[in-house]
């Protein structure tokens, strides 16, 4: 989700004056970039959810230069139409904060297929709901399954689609939720919304209440938490995908703007916080680029492509 834009930012790779910039590494000593991992909302996408012409050209140039691009997002697979045409070659994207790897080209234009699913077990999801109801009364819940979104009646209209069903979270997560088709769909994440708590306050409270029973993060400016299976994150699923390709963290460049990106930015050998990023994201990244509305991802990709062309000349 998109965070607030704090206004004009300094050029790419230059940290604010009151922070310590990462020590630059000479191009000849940096590992060759083999994969770019980028968040979408607030990062690759502009605030109007579009992909700029400059960014489209940069993504295509990266793939042409032999650099794989992975979109790594909290979005479900069915919300990936805005970028599906810009996944070249492998066609893969990491969705649901690492809960699923999907082939955006699988099944033909406008469709997708699941390649890997890292589900939140039903018993764990029920335990999460119980703990948050006790720790933060007034919390309402939604359940994201592979086939769609289901939520409680008090859950606000925060998403781009109507719910598949509306019922208390305990019923939505029951062994038999009332629909045999839904019962067979893995749970990718539970969403929890609080109408009064501040976003970071709710995140801290929930992590204390849930512990290591699940992974709790957020990508929205509101008090909306995203809860996945233990150890499931953008970083851990990206690491699996990179291992399958023989790509090391040092060969990965990552981009993000919100707390659900922090693990990925910390894992990648080189990482960039957007100019509009959350302060914790800026602290976690090794560099900083300009805001999403100023094509901050494209700015860095263009330099990476230019360096590869120089190395190959």
- pTM of structure: 0.89
Distance separating alpha carbons of residues 71 and 102, to the nearest angstrom = 10
Tell me: do 127 and 111 sit in the same domain. Answer: no
Average pLDDT over residues 186-193: 98
**For residue 125, what pLDDT band results from cuts at 50, 70 and 90?**
very high
Which whole-number Å values give the CA distances from 143 to 128, 138, 277, in the listed order?
Answer: 12, 17, 27
Looking at the fold, whether 187 and 131 belong to one and the same domain comes out as yes
> Residue 27: which pLDDT band, with cuts at 50, 70 and 90?
low
* 126 and 221 together in one domain: yes
Q: What CATH number did the domain enclosing 276 receive?
A: 3.40.50.1000
Who wins on pLDDT, 15 or 124? 124
Give mean pLDDT, residues 250-265.
98
Assess if residue 265 is contained within a domain: yes
Structure confidence at residue 281 (pLDDT): 98
Question: Residues 70, 107: one domain?
Answer: yes
- Is the domain of 132 the same as that of 222? yes
Q: Is residue 12 part of a domain?
A: no
The per-residue pLDDT for 297 is 98
Report the mean per-residue pLDDT for the chain. 89
How confident is the model at residue 20, as a pLDDT?
35
Q: Which of 179, 208, 228 is the last residue of a domain?
A: 228
Q: Has residue 148 been placed in a domain?
A: yes
| 14 located within any domain | no
pLDDT tens per residue, range 281-298: 999 999 999 999 999 999
Domain boundary (202, 228, 254) is at: 228
Q: Are residues 42 and 167 in the same domain?
A: no
Report if residue 18 sits inside a domain.
Answer: no
Which residues are registered as beta bridge partners of 114?
102
Same domain, 188 and 249: no
- Give residue 30's pLDDT: 60
pLDDT tens string 43-88 = 999 999 999 999 999 999 999 999 999 999 999 999 998 898 888 7
Least confident of 48-52, 111-115, 235-239: 111-115
pLDDT above 50: residue 216:
yes
Per-residue pLDDT band for 6 (boundaries 50, 70, 90) equals: very low
Distance from C-alpha of 202 to C-alpha of 59, rounded to nearest angstrom: 36
**Do both 114 and 239 map to the same domain?**
yes
Residue that terminates a domain, selected from 204, 228, 252: 228
Residue 6, in any domain of the structure: no
Round to whole Å and give the CA distance between 217 and 191.
10
The pLDDT of residue 17: 29
Domain hosting 222: range is: 122-228
pLDDT level of residue 89 (50, 70, 90 thresholds): confident
pLDDT average, residue stretch 10-28: 38
- Over the range 242-270, which residues count as b (16 or more CB within 10 Å of their CB) and which as e? beeeebebebbbbbbbbbbbbbbbebbbb
Query: How many domains does the structure of the chain reveal?
Result: 2
Q: Do 73 and 87 fall into the same domain?
A: yes
Q: What pLDDT is attached to residue 212?
A: 96
């Amino acid at each position: 989700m998109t965070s607030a834009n704090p206004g004009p930012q300094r050029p790419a790779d230059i940290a604010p004056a009151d922070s310590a910039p990462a020590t630059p590494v000479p191009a000849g000593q940096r590992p060759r970039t083999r994969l770019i991992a980028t968040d979408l909302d607030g990062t690759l996408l502009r605030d109007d959810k579009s992909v700029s012409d400059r960014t489209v050209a940069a993504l295509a140039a990266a793939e042409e230069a032999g650099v794989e691009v992975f979109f790594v997002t909290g979005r479900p697979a069915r919300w990936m139409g805005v970028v599906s045409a810009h996944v070249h070659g492998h066609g893969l994207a990491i969705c649901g904060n690492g809960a699923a790897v999907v082939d955006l080209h699988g099944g033909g234009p406008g469709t997708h297929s699941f390649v890997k699913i890292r589900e939140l077990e039903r018993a764990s999801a029920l335990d999460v709901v119980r703990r948050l109801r006790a720790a933060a009364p007034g919390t309402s819940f939604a359940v994201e399954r592979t086939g769609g979104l289901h939520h409680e009646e008090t859950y606000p209209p925060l998403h781009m689609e109507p719910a598949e069903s509306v019922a208390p979270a305990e019923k939505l997560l029951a062994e038999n939720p009332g629909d045999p088709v839904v019962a067979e769909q893995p749970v990718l994440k539970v969403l929890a919304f609080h109408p009064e708590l501040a976003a970071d306050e709710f995140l801290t409270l929930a992590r204390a209440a849930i512990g290591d029973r699940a992974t709790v993060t957020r990508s929205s400016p509101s008090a909306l938490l995203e809860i996945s299976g233990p150890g499931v994150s953008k970083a851990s699923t990206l690491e699996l995908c990179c291992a399958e390709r023989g790509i090391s963290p040092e060969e990965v460049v990552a981009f993000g703007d919100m707390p659900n990106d922090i693990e990925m930015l910390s894992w990648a050998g080189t990482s960039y916080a957007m100019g509009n990023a959350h302060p914790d994201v800026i602290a976690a990244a090794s560099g900083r680029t300009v805001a999403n509305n100023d094509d901050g991802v494209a700015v860095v990709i263009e330099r990476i492509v230019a360096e590869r062309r120089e190395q190959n000349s």
